Structure 1
Amino acid sequence: CFSKSLKPSYPCCKNDKVVYVDKSGEWGIENGKWCGIGNGYDPSNTCFSLALGYPCCQSCKVLYTDKSGDWGVENKKWCGIKDSCASPIENP
């Protein structure tokens, strides 16, 4: 997993329960210590809501925005808009 190659190095998680997401990737906690989940940051598969217990949306349709990020609804349930949906900032 990605966290073994970081400095300092962190172990890989045995489970896939995401509690935090940053530019390095998805993180979990096992035995009271941080551990990495998966192969690292992938904007096509990552969203802020994973750490909040909500899945990522498959679409990029934003229905609501709060301090956490952009939200959508799929299958009548809230989901987080993926990082890959972010529009590039255009220069004036």
Structure 2
Amino acid sequence: NDSTCWSKSLGYSCCKSCNVVTIDKYGSWGVENGHWCGIKSDSCNIHTDKKCWSSGYGYPCCSGCKVYYIDHAGEWGVENGNWCGI
């Protein structure tokens, strides 16, 4: 529903999927059909925590510091079989 879409006021529709590509001060963003779209945090269960950068991508922060992967977003670890931000 575009009437409750936060990115509509910025000129972008909301995504149908929950695949986060990047995050900025407005929220989480994805790309669909070659166009940027805003991701609804409520429907995608994304809880942004300013202390945890990876929460905007839908992942918790790690309690440890062992890095398994690095991408454009940052450093990633694994805890209990799940990805987490470091």
Contact 1:26 1:36 in 2 (8 A): yes
1:43 equivalenced with 2:49 (yes/no): yes
Partner residue of 1:23?
A: 25
| Distance in 1 separating the partners of 2:14 and 2:24 | 16
Using the size of structure 2 for normalisation, the TM-score is 0.59
Bigger radius of gyration: 1
Contact 2:21 2:29 in 1 (8 A): yes
Contact 1:3 1:35 in 2 (8 A): yes
Aligned-residue CA RMSD (Å): 3.4
Unaligned segments of structure 2, at least 5 residues = none
| Distance in 2 separating the partners of 1:24 and 1:49 | 11
Contact 1:61 1:72 in 2 (8 A): no
Using the size of structure 1 for normalisation, the TM-score is 0.56
Contact 2:49 2:55 in 1 (8 A): no
Q: Secondary structure at the match of 1:47?
A: helix
- Between stretches 9-18 and 32-41, larger displacement belongs to 32-41
Unaligned segments of structure 1, at least 5 residues = 82-92
Q: By how many angstroms is 1:73 displaced?
A: 3.1
Contact 2:12 2:36 in 1 (8 A): yes
Partner residue of 1:85?
A: none
May I ask how many residue pairs the two structures share in their alignment? 74
Work out the percentage of aligned pairs sharing the same amino acid. 46
Partner residue of 1:5?
A: 9
Relative contact order (C-alpha < 8 Å, sep 6+): which is higher?
1
